[in-house]
Structure 1
C-alpha cells in the first residue's frame, strides 16, 4: 500500500516544478475517479483518460480566474493537456520502498485525477533514462 502525503497549497508551484523536472519523460496513465468512492475501501470505479503516454509536466495556473492544475502528456508528436479546475487537494503517493507511484488531485467538484506511473520507481534509479525526452 502506498503512502499518501498531502502537499500544502502554498507549496504547489514549487512542488509541481520539482515533480515535473524529476519525472519528465516517465510513462503514465491519467485516470478519473469519484473522490468519495476512492475513500471508501480505497477503490472505486476509475475512468481512464490516457494510457501509457509520456509525462511532460504539471503546473499550477489560472483558468478563467480560478486556480487550476494542468497536466500535459505526450503521445509521439501529439501533446494532450488535461485541466483540473478548482483543485482542492494535491497528494504525492510513494510506495514503502521509496518508489514514486504518482499523484492524486482532488477537485472541489468531487472528482479525483490520478497520475499513475507505468512502473513505480525511485527517481534516482531512472536518472538519465528519459534524457532524450528533455
Structure 2
C-alpha cells in the first residue's frame, strides 16, 4: 500500500453532489450565493446538503463559502494588495459588511487585513 492509499483510508469519498456544490461555490464566490443556489447546483435538498457538508467537510455550506471567500481575499492581499484598497478586494469577494469581514478575517488568520498587506510589502 502506498502513501496515497494510506492517506485516503481515513477519509470517506466525497459524493458527486458535494463536488458539484463546491465547484459552484468556487466559480461564483464573488457573487451573492444563497443556500437555494447551492441546493440547485448540487441537486439535493437543503437538509442533505447541510448534513453532508458537515459530515464530509466538517463545516456548513455557508461557512465553507465564507472561508473560501476569506482565503481568496487573503490571497489577493498577499499577491497585490498593496496596489488595491482592502475594502475593494473584500467587496469583490462578496463581503458587504466590512466590520464583520474584518472580524471574521482576524478570527481565521489571527491578524487584521492591513497587517497582511503590510507583510506582503516587506516580502
Q: Give the TM-score taking structure 2 as reference length.
A: 0.26
Q: Which has the higher contact order (CA 8 A, sep 6+)?
A: 1
Is the radius of gyration larger for structure 1 or structure 2? 2
Higher strand share: 1
Higher helix share: 2
Q: Give the TM-score taking structure 1 as reference length.
A: 0.24
